[in-house]
Structure 1
């Protein structure tokens, strides 16, 4: 199953700094790269300065929550998110 995951920046996001200079950026980028390498994220990126969309090949919304909980522990803290399905 493919799920579309939409999220926006959390409370640690500093609008005055570019993405690559945000708190814990290297850890975030590394984790996302791993998810791409494992085939979990098949497409994704920023929509604008505040929102990101990910197309993920996973078994369920719960799987996405578990996968992205690792991201929250590693980098940016809590953020708002929503899901949609495709395929």
Structure 2
């Protein structure tokens, strides 16, 4: 039986496209796939030290809080950060829950009770993709 050349070409194109699609769906290296580290969701709320008369940028320890989040991000320990309603959410990767708590206890705004936090295991069942929103200049 002789195979038609256009059928062979179609099969080659389809197999290349399928392998490219599979590669695009599976990132080679991702913080969410680091096997030695666990993920923890940290919900951050305003605490008793929050001054309702001041905007967030004028709160005590707010700059230090932002610097701490940047430090965690630069160290690869903060995987994701977001705000919703009047809360913040960060996802940390750490060797243990105690290590994640230690990261949060280093934050001056947590120490000053401007913010409080609750830490939870974060078990990813679907990796998906999160896009960051562009900030206005």
- For the superposition of Structure 1 and Structure 2, which TM-score range results when normalised by the shorter chain? 0.7 to 0.9
| 96, 99, 107: which one aligns with 1:60 | 96
User: Which residue is equivalent to 2:49?
Assistant: 12
Partner Cα distance (2:77, 2:43) in 1:
15
Q: Which has the larger radius of gyration?
A: 2
- 1:60: how far off? 1.3
Partner Cα distance (1:26, 1:46) in 2:
17
1:34-72 deviation line (CA, Å, top 9, x unaligned): 0111111111132222x211111111111111111111x
Q: What do you get for the CA RMSD once the two structures are aligned?
A: 1.6
Looking at secondary structure, tell me which structure has more helix per residue. Answer: 2
| 12, 18, 21: which one aligns with 2:58 | 21
Structure 1 gap segments, 5+ residues each:
none
TM-score by length of 2: 0.55
Residue 16 of structure 1 aligns to a residue in which SS? coil
Q: Which stretches of structure 1, 4 residues or longer, exceed 4 Å deviation after superposition?
A: none
Count how many residue pairs are aligned between Structure 1 and Structure 2.
84
| 40, 46, 60: which one aligns with 2:83 | 46
Partner Cα distance (2:117, 2:91) in 1:
16
TM-score by length of 1: 0.81
With a CA cutoff of 8 Å and minimum separation of 6, indicate the structure with the bigger relative contact order.
1
